[in-house]
Structure 1
Amino acid sequence: MELIRGLHNLAPRHRGSVVSIGNFDGLHRGHQALIARLRMLAGEHRLPATVVCFEPMPREYFQRDNPPPRIADLRGKLRDLAAFGVDRVLLLPFGPRLAAMSAEAFVRQVLVDGLGARAVIVGDDFRYGARRAGDLALLQAIGAGAGFSAEGLGTVTLDGARSSSTGLRAALALPDLDVVERLLDRRYRITGRVRHGLKLGRELGMATANLHLRRPPALAHGVYAVKAYWDEAPNGLPGVASLGVRPTLGLTTCLLETHVFDARPNLYGRELAIEFHKFLRPQLTFDGLDALAAQMQADGRDARTHFTAELMPS
């Protein structure tokens, strides 16, 4: 998949596209249906399936004091878009210039002049441009004169509820991993590069691979039974992970610490994907390191018990 960062990096060869626009945070079933339709139209036109998305997301820009938590970071989003068959992503920096751009100017500069769109597919409630003034009707009206078709995809429902990033964030915050899995059609993952930490887990008998999270994720802080994936472990290895700010140590940076069972791989600098299987307990504050170490061992036993049960025939 080709990543194009900003309109200024568009080249003449990028003209001629079938396009979808949105945040695509989490790539839930609604997003998946949109991408499936995008790929179908791209095949009919024999043109690249192209997604336009934004960094930061518009709500993060407008709600800087209280931004919505991310379901996936940018790297995870791009990986998911590639996995679902998107050919190109145009990543637009969302700042004052784009926020002030009229809906008509957005369509002209991005879709017509930039991408040479032949077909556009969006969610039927999609809004764009300054003050969210643009809608599907405006997109269709401009497209009729500019040489592209535009269509909206209706709401995708699951168990009678709308499949949406808002609903997914709510399920992650509970956390209800069964609902999350149904909305995503897969288990939830957090990806990142393993960094050096305090190495306290090693001293307490449970060495961990640490992912420093620049933005706190939507998933509730706590301890989980997980599987860890990296290049040499494509099928995943079971373990236990703690997501949170480590209140016992008085720290405030959000960290995902994962202990992989029965393996001692050197993962520093490696890209890791942590897949969440079961919520074990919320984040707690302990009286000292001895109490923390004892609880870590108990968490490890609980996670092992979960994976043993997971392997048992139902």
Structure 2
Amino acid sequence: MLLVRGVQNLPKDWRGCALTIGNFDGLHLGHRALIERTRLRAQELGLPLTVMCFEPTPREYFRPQSAPGRISNLRSKLADFEAAGVEVVVVQRFGKPFCTLSGLAFIDHIIHQHLRARAVIVGDDFNFGAARSGDMGLLRARGAECGFTTESVPSVVVDGERCSSTAIREALAIPDLSRAARMLGRPYRLLGHVRHGLKLGRELGMPTANLYLLRPPALRLGIYAVEAQLRGEPRPWKGVAALGVRPTLGLTHVLLETHLFEPPGDIYGARIEVEFRHFLRPELRFDSLDALKVQMQRDKLDAMALLR
């Protein structure tokens, strides 16, 4: 899969594509239907399947203090794109002057001039351009003039509910992991590389694999029974994970700390994928490290019982 940072950096040999556009937060079943339809059009045209997404998302750019938490980090999103058969991912930086493009300018300069799209497939709620001024009517009309076809894919309904990133965020905030997993088509997960931390878990008898999160996730902070997959390892590792800011230590940055029940050896720098299976309890502040240590052992036993 070719990853391109900004349409201006797309190699000329990769221009001309079947294109889909969106934030694709979580890559849920609705997104997968969109990508599958784009894949079929790409095969018909003999062109690469290309996805355009945005960093940061428009809501994060315009309203950073009130933007919703991320369902997936960028690394997880890219892994999902690759697994879905996407050939080119254009990660477009969302900011000035990009965000000031009108709907018509977005079509002319981005879709037509830079990407040379021959087919554009989007969701049925797709809007684009400054102030979301572009809609399907404009896209179809201008697309016919520029030489590309346009179609929208209807929403996917799961258990009577429209599958959307908003609905998944609502489920994760509770957290209702089963509801989120049904719309995602898989258990909720976070993916990243194991980093060095404060080594406090080791001092408390429960060493952890740490993932630093650039942006707060949509999942409720707390303690979870998890299964983790290490790149290159054939089997999953069971464990217990703490997603939070570590209030007992007076810290504020969200971190995912995962304790694996079986020692995995030295995994610093390794890619780890953590699937959240059961919610155990919310994050709490303890009066002492001794009290925290006792609770950590209880959490471990609870997670082991749930993951049998």
- TM-score interval w.r.t. the shorter chain? over 0.9
Aligned residue in 2 for 1:300: 300
Using the TM superposition, give the Cα deviation of residue 156 of structure 1 relative to its aligned residue in structure 2, in angstroms: 1.1
Distance in 2 (CA, whole Å) between partners of 1:182 and 1:275 is 14
- Structure 2-normalised TM-score? 0.98
CA distance in 1, matches of 2:130, 2:147: 24
By how many angstroms is 1:84 displaced? 0.6
Query: Structure 1 residue runs of 4+, over 3 Å off?
Result: none
Tell me how far 1:161 sits from its aligned partner. Answer: 1.0
Question: Matches of 2:233 and 2:292 in 1, distance apart?
Answer: 29
**Distance (whole Å) between structure 2 residues aligned to residue 242 and residue 302 of structure 1:** 13
The residue type equivalent to 1:302 in the other structure is D
Name the SS of the counterpart of 1:235 in structure 2: coil
Aligned partner of residue 195 in structure 1, secondary structure: coil
Tell me whether 1:137 sits opposite 2:120 in the alignment.
Answer: no
Give me the identity figure in percent: 55
Q: Deviation per CA, 1:47-68, whole angstroms, max 9, x where unpaired? A: 1000111111111111122221
Instruction: Please name the residue that 1:178 is paired with.
Output: 178
Q: Which residue of 1 aligns with 2:190?
A: 190
Structure 1 pair 42/252, CA: closer, same or farther in 2 (3 Å)? same
Q: Identify the residue that residue 113 of structure 1 maps to in structure 2.
A: 113
- The AA in structure 2 aligned to 1:39 is R
Alignment-derived partner of residue 5 in structure 1 = 5
Which AA in structure 1 matches 2:256? L
The one-letter code sitting in structure 2 at the alignment partner of 1:105 is A
Instruction: Mark the CA change 1:226 to 1:214 in structure 2 (over 3 Å): closer, same or farther.
Output: same
In the TM superposition, what is the alpha-carbon distance from 1:7 to its structure 2 partner? 2.2
Q: Does 1:257 align with 2:257?
A: yes
Which residue type is aligned with residue 296 of structure 1? Answer: M
Task: State the match for 2:225 in structure 1.
Answer: 225
Q: Output one character per residue of 1:200-259: Cα deviation in whole Å (capped at 9) or x when no partner.
A: 111111111111112111110000000111124342110000000111111111111111
Which string of whole-angstrom CA distances, capped at 9 and with x for unpartnered residues, describes residues 175-217 of structure 1?
0000011011101111111111111111111111111112111
Which residue of the partner structure matches residue 271 of structure 2? Answer: 271
Give unpaired runs (5+ residues) of structure 1: 309-314
> Is the CA contact (8 Å cut-off) linking 2:237 and 2:260 kept in structure 1?
yes
Aligned-partner SS, 1:47: coil
- Look up the SS of the partner of 1:278 in the other structure: strand
Aligned to 2:74: 74
Distance apart, 1:96 and its partner CA: 1.8
Identify the residue that residue 243 of structure 1 maps to in structure 2: 243
Q: Secondary structure at the match of 1:34?
A: helix
Partner of 1:42: 42
In 1, Cα distance between equivalents of 2:235 and 2:36: 26
Aligned partner letter, 1:51:
V
Q: Secondary structure at the match of 2:251?
A: coil
User: What is the match of residue 311 of structure 1?
Assistant: none
Q: Which amino acid aligns with 2:276?
A: F
Q: Aligned partners of 2:280, 2:233: CA distance in 1, in Å?
A: 24
Residue of structure 1 in register with 2:281 after alignment = 281
Distance 1:186 1:88 in 2: 23
TM-score for the superposition, normalised by structure 1: 0.96
Offset of residue 90 of structure 1: 1.3
Q: Which residue of 1 aligns with 2:30?
A: 30
Query: What's the secondary structure of 1:40's corresponding residue?
Result: helix
